[in-house]
Structure 1
Amino acid sequence: MFSTLPAELILDILGWLPIDTVRNLNLVSKHVRDFIDVNEDIIYRTAAFQLGYIPSKDFAFENLAHLYSPRIMRYVSTCKELCKELRYVSAAWKGRAPSAIRVFEPFQQDDVHRIKVDEDAGIIINSFNMGGICVSDLETGSMLWALSANYVSGYPHVEYENGFMIFNLRGKRKEVWKLVGSHPRLPRPKSSPVDSKQATISRLMGEHYCDTYPRGHFQAWSAIEVPELTHAFRFVYPTLLTAERRHLYLYDVRTGTLERNIVITEPEIHEPPHLTYVDISPHYIFVCGWPSIRIVSRQTGKVLMDIASDKAHYSPNVFAMDRHTETTQGSALCIHRPYIREPALQTQITHVYDQFLATHVSPCGHHLAILSVSSRLLIVPFFERLWEDNPLPDINSISLEIELGSRARSSRYLAFDSSRVAVATDTGIFIVHLDLSKGAERILNVCRVQELDRPHALGEMSCLQMSQTALWLTWQYPYPEPIGQSRTNFGELLAERVSYHVFNPTIPIGTINIRPFGGFDDLVQITRKQVCRVDFARPLPGPMQREPTPEEFDDGDF
């Protein structure tokens, strides 16, 4: 083939082959190896495009910094190295390559409440139980900038994206701060302007941390006074959503203006949810709580879908965790192969007393991840089908449901990043890998951070985040074992029986109580809680410890 076909045709063929096949072709003959060496950039650029690593074959290499974090690009100077690095990180996320649990040690405070990571800027933002916000260097841990507890009250929730940080103060106020150097041409907002106190604090903190300026520094941008006390807020650039049960307020953080005030007054299937979480996409608002999740149109304010939290099942095939696992040398994860289990509830039981803890929409805006308090994860791929298709499908017909550990144990946190979902429950910390391509929606595998199998510690978590190369969480690692307690056997937790209480046993359609041992609203009692990460980047310095073998990629990577 290499001697008879035109070079352009050979290159086109090689571009469609798996990377492992191209690598093996190097061993066929010196002639083939020379051909591949001469055309290496073209071959691997095509491969990177086919794998979705770059948006087009002619994508400028210097623009890769806009797609991938410096923690990935520090090894990359060619398309071949890009494929190699992303292959390694993808394998590590799936438990197929080495990864490590690392402590973010430099924090002087050990009561971390919230985590926000910006790998592009190389910073990590943390808020604390006792108040205050700290910005640190992602690699060295050195403090770059901070706001004291005298200014930011205790347990502040922090949102961050694209250079804007938002946090709540007492009452109805949400403050917006902008990362120095980001959005340099954006004019100062005329609506919701900075007040004198906020401006003074901004100036004083800039002076106090002048040695690190401008890296990691924020400047006061605006002060938004919401018309009423709200119970949840979420920021997806450029929109800040702050919500209570019937009112949804949408602000543009660039200008500080109230874009839309949605008042939900129409008749509904359920009462307005007691809020536990909200999320937002370009077209929809997601209001999560008990007794349902509402999907609201941003354009019309109409409730498009109301998903009740009282269903015994949301899919005809409910996946459960197998106690048997696979491990890869050097990985912090173990791998579960989910299996379809027999129904845990009697057939006449159709309604359960459960509630939704959190929901996240995927970055592409097409898929929904929902987490119930009873450790059930529901994935709704292409959720718009629920009101757009003809005939309208039932949610059971398009959803994927998986029980992450024991239903008798509470969920704690949810994160959704493209094709993977991270979940923390009182049973463990899980990473669910999905194939969400149209018509082929499926669960690929489930990984568990087995070193963190400590239920008494998992219940004290307050935050879980994903970046391109790491899973971040609040934790004290290594965790000191309380007297008389040790790591719980995961298999024993899977075998736990849920204590069901039938509210109305006299009728065929019953309602049962599956309230877990601990609720999502239990107070966090931990005394020491720092930042810990499960690191999937290739270690620095030195070469990667082990390159994954082709046989390990058996779930659709190549």
Structure 2
Amino acid sequence: MLSLFPTDISLYILSFLSLHDLRSLLLVSRETHHLVADNESTVYHQAAVFHKFVSIRSSLEDALQVESRRCGWLEGAQSWKELCRRWTELERNWDGRGFVHEGGHQVGDSNGMDGVLHFKVDEEQRTIVAVSRSGGLTVRAMEDNRILWSLGNDYIFRARCELSKGFLVFPSSRHGLEIWRRTADVELGSDVIGETVLSPISGPSPAAALDFQFEASKLAASTHPSVNSAMRLRGQYTPHAYLGHPFVNLVRIYRLRFPVLALMSALDRNAVLIFDVCEGVLLRRVSFEAFHPIDKYLSVCLHSAVFMVPWRTSAQDSEGRTRAMVLAETDLPQDLQDASMQLRKVTVPNHHISTRHSDCRVDGNVACVPGADAVEQFEIVPPSASTRLANNSQALVPIGAHRVPPCFVSARMSPDGRHFAAVTVFGLLYLVPNFARVERGATSFSEITTRIYMGEWLRDLVWEEHQQRRLVMKAASEDIFIVNLDASFHFPREPMPYELQDDRDTFANVRISHLSDFSNPTLGWARERGVAFNGVQLTRTAVWMVWDRALLDDTVRRREHRRRQREWEDNESTEPRSSPGNGSLCFASFAAGM
């Protein structure tokens, strides 16, 4: 049929076909097969645009260059067809229909008695910045865990670190806040989002880098001389600024999202200070505990409510009071759990499992696990009618009775600053699309918020840095949940023109998955040391977390033994291994098959 039309008309018709439909057509039509073979680049570029892998104006070189800075999962791709293949495989892996690479690295002393306190992943340089429980900061190569650069435990104590666009921030032993920057960006004069940033900041600025920072930098450089001149700057950092008096002393909490650094200090306990990380200047003081900065808004997370403060505009009224949007609840947590959307496990058809199951392949510290084993899928369903009816008939709370707050523990905004999500200790996930509408008076939080009961106590929430679709949650039990806010984003059944899309439908196709192998009853509240595994980060291709590598290895090995119906060896226990409570740096990579 297509042969009856001119080539340009035929190609235009093919632009409305998904990759699945295109493949089916190629199998039944020899003429179409020849047409696609002669115009392969055009056809698969159209397919990449159809599936939203790239924008309509993107060239192949631009698409590969952008993604090459994100863990290199498109390295070696030289055609639109290969880009489509890899992206499709990546999405299949995320959905549990492919394979997952699971593994981890020990960070700390060689006998495993130390562990990871906190970490950040640098996708561009493919390094991991980690602070150990005994103190000290190391920068390690992602591929083999070797140390590229470090600061000793006499310089940086047990502390959280922040990393964004090459800027590294951590508390100083001198009670201030240190800002370092990737040495490669400084020496090569790299722009940061189109801006030229001069490092280090010098006097008379109150944020000027101090002498003790440069002494530590020289010691670190001499301790880790580079053996490869081509990569000599990889993983290294140089002092950029120091925030101390008159603004900062004994930092209580801080967060970094380039170009904004927000913090609370003992010098000003009831306010959030917002700094420009490039110049070290104070941009605004906002009068308020846990918070998260974004380009235009600041989210402040309290047990009783989440505040969204528009800090770039005037956030105070004529009387000096802070103006903010407030997400709060008046109902009891148990009633909110019953009235919220619920999780229902998605059963994978047996015929699908049999085609995907294979023996788990182990290579060093990495196991290639079938997705059906690694990822447990859930769909979101409304609460039952009987539950809603029971809630409506609840007795009123007696006057003077203690009211339990919702206990929000984390609130984060999407990378573009349009949406935000929050979690509570009682297992509730809040998803709020385009929250700026509330500020304009166009709607209220109660009308646009989707509330989901996860069935477990939650304690952390992280959004993916480069896109709006996925975020990851960590439960008090250390279990990991991945939230796909639009499961049909790349593979829509009926594509809808952008101009017809409604903000109310932004989170209409939510899917939640659970990383099965990163779940163990010996962790969580039963962990001997009682110290939470801090840190989780979501990238385009992987979930990085502080977990227990020994337990992960044990879980994978035990499942393979059960599948093969083999008896345990005499030197292997039939009971799951217990955790020593020391965190390893672990990952679940969905770039298998790339």
Superposition TM-score tier, normalisation by shorter sequence: 0.7 to 0.9
Shift of 1:94: 2.1
Q: Secondary structure at the residue paired with 1:27? A: helix
1-structure distance, mates of 2:407, 2:151: 36
Matched residue, 1:251: 275
1-structure distance, mates of 2:85, 2:338: 39
Question: Structure 1 stretch 163-172 or stretch 371-380: which is displaced more?
Answer: 163-172
Q: Assess, with a 3 A threshold, how the Cα gap between structure 1 residues 317 and 104 changes in structure 2: closer, same or farther.
A: same
Q: Assess, with a 3 A threshold, how the Cα gap between structure 1 residues 455 and 377 changes in structure 2: closer, same or farther.
A: farther
Matched residue, 2:218: 203
Question: Structure 1 stretch 56-65 or stretch 227-236: which is displaced more?
Answer: 56-65
AA matched with 1:93: W
Matched residue, 1:454: 520
Shift of 1:416: 1.4
C-alpha deviations, 1:172-202, integer Å up to 9, x for none?
4111111121254332323311111111001
Matched residue, 1:419: 469
2-structure distance, mates of 1:30, 1:53: 28
Q: Assess, with a 3 A threshold, how the Cα gap between structure 1 residues 311 and 456 changes in structure 2: closer, same or farther.
A: farther
C-alpha deviations, 1:211-259, integer Å up to 9, x for none?
2531111111111114354432111111111136631211112112222
Between Structure 1 and Structure 2, which shows a larger proportion of strand residues? 1
C-alpha deviations, 1:253-308, integer Å up to 9, x for none?
2112222222x2xxxxxxx5xx2x21112111101122221111112124221222
Q: 2:447 aligns with which of 389, 394, 397?
A: 397
Q: Assess, with a 3 A threshold, how the Cα gap between structure 1 residues 424 and 88 changes in structure 2: closer, same or farther.
A: same
Matched residue, 2:178: 175
Shift of 1:101: 1.8
The answer to whether the 8 A contact 1:309-1:355 is kept is: no
C-alpha deviations, 1:368-411, integer Å up to 9, x for none?
11011112110011111222143xx33222111111123xxx32
Residue 124 (structure 1) aligned with residue 128 (structure 2): yes
Residue 354 (structure 1) aligned with residue 406 (structure 2): yes
Q: Secondary structure at the residue paired with 1:61? A: helix
Q: 2:485 aligns with which of 415, 423, 434?
A: 434
Q: 2:325 aligns with which of 300, 305, 309?
A: 305
AA matched with 1:433: N
Give the unaligned 5+ runs of structure 1. Answer: 265-271, 488-524, 545-558
TM-score, structure 1 normalization: 0.80
The answer to whether the 8 A contact 2:412-2:422 is kept is: yes
The answer to whether the 8 A contact 2:448-2:504 is kept is: no
Shift of 1:67: 3.6
Q: Secondary structure at the residue paired with 1:233? A: strand
AA matched with 1:290: H
The answer to whether the 8 A contact 1:314-1:396 is kept is: no
The answer to whether the 8 A contact 1:278-1:286 is kept is: yes
AA matched with 1:319: M
The answer to whether the 8 A contact 1:107-1:141 is kept is: no
2-structure distance, mates of 1:175, 1:160: 12
Matched residue, 1:165: 168
Within 5 Å, which residues of 2 pair with 1:187-198? 187-188=198-199, 189-190=201-202, 191=205, 192-198=207-213
Matched residue, 2:22: 22
Shift of 1:138: 0.9
Q: 1:466 aligns with which of 538, 546, 571?
A: 538
1-structure distance, mates of 2:329, 2:213: 41
Shift of 1:446: 1.2
C-alpha deviations, 1:124-166, integer Å up to 9, x for none?
1111221111111111211100111100011x11110111111
Matched residue, 1:364: 416
C-alpha deviations, 1:12-54, integer Å up to 9, x for none?
2212211111122221233211110111111111221232222
Matched residue, 1:222: 241
Matched residue, 1:145: 149
2-structure distance, mates of 1:258, 1:73: 40
2-structure distance, mates of 1:40, 1:13: 14
1-structure distance, mates of 2:214, 2:39: 57
Residue 87 (structure 1) aligned with residue 88 (structure 2): yes
C-alpha deviations, 1:354-376, integer Å up to 9, x for none?
31111110012111110111121
Matched residue, 1:336: 378
Matched residue, 2:564: none
Q: Secondary structure at the residue paired with 2:462? A: strand
Q: Assess, with a 3 A threshold, how the Cα gap between structure 1 residues 470 and 397 changes in structure 2: closer, same or farther.
A: same
The answer to whether the 8 A contact 1:72-1:86 is kept is: no
1-structure distance, mates of 2:536, 2:463: 10
Q: Secondary structure at the residue paired with 1:405? A: coil
Q: Assess, with a 3 A threshold, how the Cα gap between structure 1 residues 162 and 314 changes in structure 2: closer, same or farther.
A: farther
C-alpha deviations, 1:56-76, integer Å up to 9, x for none?
345251552224524311242
Q: Secondary structure at the residue paired with 2:99? A: coil
AA matched with 2:513: C
Residue 51 (structure 1) aligned with residue 51 (structure 2): yes
AA matched with 2:484: H
Within 5 Å, which residues of 2 pair with 1:531-546? 531-539=585-593
The answer to whether the 8 A contact 2:261-2:277 is kept is: yes
Q: Assess, with a 3 A threshold, how the Cα gap between structure 1 residues 5 and 324 changes in structure 2: closer, same or farther.
A: closer
Residue 318 (structure 1) aligned with residue 329 (structure 2): no
C-alpha deviations, 1:91-114, integer Å up to 9, x for none?
212222211321124754641011
Residue 530 (structure 1) aligned with residue 584 (structure 2): yes
The answer to whether the 8 A contact 1:310-1:355 is kept is: no
Q: Secondary structure at the residue paired with 2:512? A: strand
Shift of 1:480: 8.8
Question: Structure 1 stretch 173-182 or stretch 58-67: which is displaced more?
Answer: 58-67
Q: Secondary structure at the residue paired with 1:278? A: strand
The answer to whether the 8 A contact 2:307-2:325 is kept is: yes
The answer to whether the 8 A contact 1:310-1:352 is kept is: no
2-structure distance, mates of 1:365, 1:526: 40
Matched residue, 1:556: none
Q: Assess, with a 3 A threshold, how the Cα gap between structure 1 residues 75 and 96 changes in structure 2: closer, same or farther.
A: farther
1-structure distance, mates of 2:81, 2:524: 40
Q: Assess, with a 3 A threshold, how the Cα gap between structure 1 residues 196 and 449 changes in structure 2: closer, same or farther.
A: same
Matched residue, 2:562: none
Residue 233 (structure 1) aligned with residue 246 (structure 2): no
The answer to whether the 8 A contact 2:255-2:292 is kept is: yes
**What percentage of residue pairs aligned between the two structures are identical?**
22
1-structure distance, mates of 2:441, 2:25: 47
